[in-house]
Structure 1
Amino acid sequence: MTPLTFRNGISIALLVLYAPLLLLGAFLSKRHGFGRSSGWIFLVIFCTLRILSGALNLAIINSPTSTSLHTAYLITNSVGLSPLLLASLGLLNRAIESIERRAHSVTITPRLIRLIQLLIMIALILAIVGSINLTDAKTDGDVHDARTLVQAAVGLFIAGYVILCLATVRVLFSISSAEAGERRLIPALAAALPFLLIRVVYAGVGAFGNDAKFNAVTGSDAIFLVMVVLMELAVVIIFEGVGITLKAIPKEDRGKVGDYMEMPLTGGLVGKFVGGRRHESRRHGSRRGESRRGQPVAETRYGA
């Protein structure tokens, strides 16, 4: 029997750690929504990738010459950054929606978040194609073209991370306007950003540098453990930890403007928003000069 290597030991640890994290991620996705904008589904995808990565590495022990196994292992290691960035954007999007439900505007809108997610998805496709081409390369030109695709993907990942940081800082100044239970989202995201940074640095050095130690498949196992495995694990634990503490938003109110905790059940999105304004006006009517019949005698602003 072939003796296990340090990388094999890491793979076994991945299987042990990510199996329960996958189940927890599936629970959070069911609770908070499977939508792309919610972000939780990307934690499920990431945990699945890490389990596949560990299983593929162990399968290579018995089939060391299998090109398909090596290609699949390379892909699962190369695309791990994208679902973490997408999950981060999903949490940021939820915080923004919470602020907007209370009729406060934010410079970073959910539509902008979706555009950033599209950028990351393009990077994901480039990373997969580049990894496949790299394993199939037969000439120096093929290797160069494949590395160019990988570098383009990593460049987009880096851009996505920078935009994520800037957007998080911007939303941080408005997080006090979010619903009380949702305000912990931005601190959790801010806590995860340093771990994501180390992971992004590893990907950047591996793509643009010439240091073989930063190769995700054949590089240094110690560096891979510290800069990839532990950093990714920390991010997943932070996200799933905060996910457990969040209340489930009713399915019919996800992604809508207006306070979902107070809006009455009137027909249509506009009716709900107007109803929320009337409810808020009645609650503060005496302070703003509203008459007993609910007719405002002075200008009122929802959520002020």
Structure 2
Amino acid sequence: MSKLNTQGILALITAVAYLPFLFISFYISKKHGFGRNAGWVLLLIFSIIRVVGGALLVAAEEITPPNINLYIAGYACEASGVSPLLMCTLGLLQTVTQGPDGRSKNARVFRLIHLVGLAALVLTIIGISDATSSSSDSQSHANLFRRIGVLVFGLMFIILAAIALFLWCQVGSLMKHRRTLLVAITIALPFIGVRTLYSILSTFSSSSFGISGTSTTTSTTTNSLSQFNMFNGNWHIYVIMGMVTEYVAIIVYSVAGMILPLESDYKLTTYGDEYPLYPEGHYQYPQQYRPA
């Protein structure tokens, strides 16, 4: 293995750091169900994206002559990784709103927000894939798509924070272990917010980016946001705002997923137990928690 530059080293660290979460998130998804709406499976998808993206960028540093497609794929994973983290949070918030029948309140609203997140992801990926085009028009459109995509991610985070605040106002009506899940989401939200902010600042730090030689370079810029550029900006900022924040968030969600017995919210209780109270004969388990 040749000597990696700073970007390659950070990519290698990312790939190695998320390897354990491939197994942890798979276990959590198996425990709580692989349903997209539950949010847990998106932890697995997020971990896969981080491992694959890191591996692609390391491979891009190693291969001579440089393979532009590896760089594009690696940075597409890097830039789009915030999407499953946001949609994971959305799914967990939807889980918090589940009632005694296992159904989420305002399911259509959550579905709409999910579609908005997917649209932002598509715009971001298109913007990255077209950024190396030789056509100035294509590069201009790519830059526009990337900026719209990350701004929608920012809007999505604001909506998620508002939903969490609303649920805290309704916390008395939430089931026991879902209240604890809301605590975990609230802890993770500030870190996800910083990560989302970094994506926005990075995208607006340069008008375009391209690949030349053996490294990725952005168009020369002297604006005040250049230090936030994920390609050639200040790597200390990238580590703190980009890597550490999302790692803390996934640790919080993973711990919550492993220790919270969400299915216990649906067990029949007696009048001496804490809320929820489901009198015997008047309750049916949701499908995902129904005893065999």
TM-score by length of structure 2 reads: 0.81
- 1:140-289, aligned counterparts within 5 Å? 140-210=136-206, 211-249=225-263, 260-262=266-268, 279=281
Question: In 1, Cα distance between the equivalents of 2:187 and 2:248?
Answer: 10
What is the CA-CA distance between 1:172 and the residue it aligns to? 1.0
Is it true that 1:123 corresponds to 2:120 in the alignment?
Answer: yes
Question: In 1, Cα distance between the equivalents of 2:111 and 2:230?
Answer: 29
Question: In 2, Cα distance between the equivalents of 1:75 and 1:218?
Answer: 16
Q: Counterpart of 1:261 in structure 2: which amino acid?
A: K
Deviation string, structure 1 residues 126-154 (Cα, Å, up to 9, x no partner): 1111110112x213322111011111111
SS in 1 for 2:60: helix
User: Quick check: 214-223 or 72-81, which moved more?
Assistant: 214-223
Q: How many residues align?
A: 256
Deviation string, structure 1 residues 139-186 (Cα, Å, up to 9, x no partner): 332211101111111111011111101000001122232222221111
SS in 2 for 1:37: helix
Percent of aligned pairs sharing the same letter: 28
Q: Counterpart of 1:80 in structure 2: which amino acid?
A: G
Deviation string, structure 1 residues 37-82 (Cα, Å, up to 9, x no partner): 0001111111011101211121112225211111111101110110
Question: In 2, Cα distance between the equivalents of 1:248 and 1:21?
Answer: 20
TM-score by length of structure 1 reads: 0.78
Question: In 2, Cα distance between the equivalents of 1:52 and 1:218?
Answer: 21
Q: Which residue number in structure 1 is paired with residue 84 of structure 2?
A: 83
Question: In 1, Cα distance between the equivalents of 2:190 and 2:245?
Answer: 9
Question: In 2, Cα distance between the equivalents of 1:237 and 1:277?
Answer: 36
Tell me, yes or no, if the aligned pair for 1:74 and 1:217 is still in contact at 8 Å: no
What is the CA-CA distance between 1:111 and the residue it aligns to? 2.2
Question: In 2, Cα distance between the equivalents of 1:232 and 1:225?
Answer: 10
Question: In 2, Cα distance between the equivalents of 1:206 and 1:247?
Answer: 39
Question: In 2, Cα distance between the equivalents of 1:184 and 1:111?
Answer: 24
Q: Which residue number in structure 2 is paired with residue 61 of structure 1?
A: 61
Is it true that 1:46 corresponds to 2:46 in the alignment?
Answer: yes
What is the CA-CA distance between 1:219 and the residue it aligns to? 3.1
Q: Which residue number in structure 2 is paired with residue 301 of structure 1?
A: none
Unaligned runs of 5+ in 2: 207-224, 270-277, 284-292
User: Quick check: 61-70 or 186-195, which moved more?
Assistant: 61-70
What is the CA-CA distance between 1:9 and the residue it aligns to? 2.4
Question: In 2, Cα distance between the equivalents of 1:212 and 1:70?
Answer: 20
Question: In 2, Cα distance between the equivalents of 1:69 and 1:218?
Answer: 18
Deviation string, structure 1 residues 203-250 (Cα, Å, up to 9, x no partner): 111223443333333433222111111011011001011111122539
Q: Which residue number in structure 2 is paired with residue 26 of structure 1?
A: 26
Tell me, yes or no, if the aligned pair for 2:96 and 2:181 is still in contact at 8 Å: yes
Instruction: Say which one has the larger Rg.
Output: 1
Question: In 2, Cα distance between the equivalents of 1:57 and 1:204?
Answer: 21
Tell me, yes or no, if the aligned pair for 2:205 and 2:229 is still in contact at 8 Å: no
Unaligned runs of 5+ in 1: 251-258, 264-275, 282-304
Q: Counterpart of 2:117 in structure 1: which amino acid?
A: I
User: CA RMSD for the aligned pairs?
Assistant: 2.4
